[in-house]
A and B are shown apart, each in its own frame.
Chain A
Amino acid sequence: GENVGLHLPTLSVQEGDNSIINCAYSNSASDYFIWYKQESGKGPQFIIDIRSNMDKRQGQRVTVLLNKTVKHLSLQIAATQPGDSAVYFCAENIPHSQAGTALIFGKGTTLSVSS
């Protein structure tokens, strides 16, 4: 079936480095993508989103890139800090049965930032 997946389950970086977290999706009908951050014991927290008519969107220290040709999504975190340590999920909004659309998540990448 179609799914949203991530290339790497874990990523370890040094404080101050830039981090890149990748995500592959397979549903070409997906029109909206979101990155979430989940800290231990908490629900996922919205970081940044991008619509399918864009290929790049920037936030504060974060940038999301969308390559529809190869169905690839990435999250770049600049000057990674220890507080960025968490599990990062990508999610895609896809047409999904009678309710219209559904937000489907990938398995997540654990980012560990060392000082």
Chain B
Amino acid sequence: GAGVSQSPSNKVTEKGKDVELRCDPISGHTALYWYRQSLGQGLEFLIYFQGNSAPDKSGLPSDRFSAERTGGSVSTLTIQRTQQEDSAVYLCASSLNIGDQGAFFGQGTRLTVV
């Protein structure tokens, strides 16, 4: 597609379950970001992939959070043993070169942990 695609758009899960969120970046974009946005808040940086470099995981809030990017394209953010405080919108963005242009965002996945 022409833009960043995220799935699912909405996810309701029970506390303690694992969830996987998917991001399809714009074709050819080497940089991929995951952010978390709680209601009425700003974007909290989670993790960043740039080409084949080791990802920057410094923003992950706990070891329950992990992400991978296969083949330099699709990325999956996994949250294990979900907690209610994990409820938020998870946004993915991609960029060809972050130093020359802004990152382009998907619509996000709204995660609700009940």
A residues in contact (CB < 8 Å) with B = 31-32, 34, 36, 41-46, 49, 89, 91, 93, 96-108
Contacts and interface: CB of A to CB of B under 8 A. Distances in A.
B65 interface: no
B89 to A, nearest CB: 9
Given A103-B33, A103-B103, A105-B42, A98 B98 contact: no
B103 to A, nearest CB: 6
A89 B42 contact: yes
Nearest to B106: A43
Contact of A105 (B45, B54, B55, B99): B45
Contacts of A101: 98-99
B14 interface: no
Interface size class of B (residues with CB under 8 A): 20 to 34
A100 B102 CA distance: 16
B41 interface: yes
B83 interface: no
Interface string B90-111: 0101010011011111111000
B98 A96 contact: no
27 contacts: A31-B99, A32-B99, A34-B103, A36-B105, A42-B107, A43-B91, A43-B106, A43-B108, A44-B93, A45-B105, A46-B101, A46-B103, A91-B43, A93-B99, A97-B56, A98-B54, A99-B49, A99-B50, A100-B53, A100-B56, A101-B99, A102-B33, A103-B98, A103-B103, A104-B45, A105-B35, A105-B42
